Chains A and B, each alone.
Chain A
Amino acid sequence: MLELLKSTNVDFIGFRKKAFIISAIMILIGIYAFVMVIIGKANLSVDFTGGTNLQIRFAEQVDIGTLRKVLTDGGISDVQIQEVSGTKDFFIKTKLIDSDKETIQNKVASIFAAQLPGKKFEVLGSNMVGPGVGKELKNYAILAVCLAMLGIIIYIWYRFTFISGIAATIATFHDVFAVLGVFYILNKELNLLIITALLTVAGYSLQDTVVVFDRIRENMGAMKTRDDLGKVMNRSINEVLSRTIITGISTILALGALMFAGGEVLLDFSFALLIGLIVGTYSSIFVASPLVLMWRKGIK
Chain B
Amino acid sequence: MIKSLKLRFILVGIFLVISIIYCLPNIHEPQGDLKKYLPSDKIHLGLDLKGGMHLLLELDMAKMMQNLTDRKLSALKDGMIRDGVRFLALDMKGNTIAVTVKAEQKEKLYNLVGKEFPDLKAGATKTEGDTLSVDFVMSEKELASLKDNAVRQALETIRNRIDQFGVSEPVIVKQGENQILVQLPGIKDPQRALDLIGRTAQLEFKLVDEENAARATSGSVPDGDELLMMRTKNRETGIATTTPTLLKKQALLTGELLTDAKVSIGGETFRNEPYVSIEFDSEGARIFDKITAENVGKRLAIVLDNTVYSAPVVKERISGGKASITGGFTMEEAKDLAIVLRAGALPAPVKVVQNITIGPTLGQDSIRQGVRATILGALLVVIFMIIYYRWSGVIACVALFLNLLYLLGAFSALKATMTLPGIAGIALTIGMGVDSNVLIFERIREELRLGKTVRAAVDGGFSKAWVAIFDSHITTLITACVLFIFGTGPIKGFAITLIIGMIINLFTAVFGSKAIFDWILQKFKPRTLSI
What is the interface of chain A, defined by CB distance below 8 A to chain B?
A: 1-2, 4, 50, 53, 63-65, 68, 80-87, 91, 127-134, 136-137, 140-141, 143-145, 147-148, 151-152, 155-156, 159, 168, 192-193, 195-197, 199-200, 202-204, 206-207, 210-211, 213-215, 218, 239-240, 242-243, 246-247, 249-251, 253-258, 260-266, 269
Contact = CB atoms under 8 A, between A and B. Distances in A.
B479 interface: yes
Contact of A261 (B356, B357, B373, B381): B373
Contact of A144 (B424, B442, B476, B482): B482
A50 B364 CA distance: 24
Contacts of A53: 175, 181
A128 B369 contact: no
Contacts of A262: 369-370, 373-374
9 contacts: A65-B366, A130-B155, A137-B488, A147-B482, A193-B420, A206-B472, A258-B377, A261-B372, A265-B370
Interface in B405-444: 420-421, 424-425, 427-428, 431-432, 434-435, 438-439, 442
A210 B475 contact: yes
A245 B138 CA distance: 69
A127 B176 contact: yes
Size band of the interface chain B makes with A? 35 or more
Given A85-B357, A144-B485, A200-B427, 20 more contacts: A4-B388, A65-B366, A85-B358, A91-B54, A91-B358, A129-B176, A131-B173, A132-B171, A141-B487, A144-B486, A145-B483, A148-B478, A168-B475, A196-B491, A210-B472, A218-B464, A243-B438, A247-B435, A250-B385, A253-B380
In the A-B complex, the 4 residue pairs with the smallest Cβ-Cβ separation, listed nearest first, are: A130-B174, A257-B377, A263-B369, A262-B373
Contacts of A260: 373
Contact of B472 (A127, A143, A207): A207
B320 interface: no
Contacts of B475: 152, 155-156, 168, 206-207, 210
B490 A196 contact: yes
Given A50-B173, A85-B357, A250-B384, A258 B374 contact: yes
B334 to A, nearest CB: 29
A104 B358 CA distance: 22
Interface of B: 51, 54, 155-156, 171-176, 179, 181, 356-366, 369-370, 372-374, 376-378, 380-381, 384-385, 387-390, 420-421, 424-425, 427-428, 431-432, 434-435, 438-439, 442, 445-446, 464, 467-468, 471-472, 474-476, 478-479, 481-483, 485-491, 494, 498, 531
Contacts of A87: 356
Given A82-B51, A127-B176, A243-B439, A254 B427 contact: yes
Nearest to B171: A132
A202 B483 CA distance: 12
Nearest to B445: A1
A192 B377 CA distance: 23
A197 B380 contact: no
Nearest to A135: B152
Given A83-B359, A196-B491, A214 B471 contact: yes
Nearest to A213: B471
Given A196-B421, A196-B494, A211-B468, A263 B486 contact: no
B439 A159 contact: no
A67 to B, nearest CB: 9
A84 B358 contact: yes
Contacts of A251: 431, 434
B370 A206 contact: no
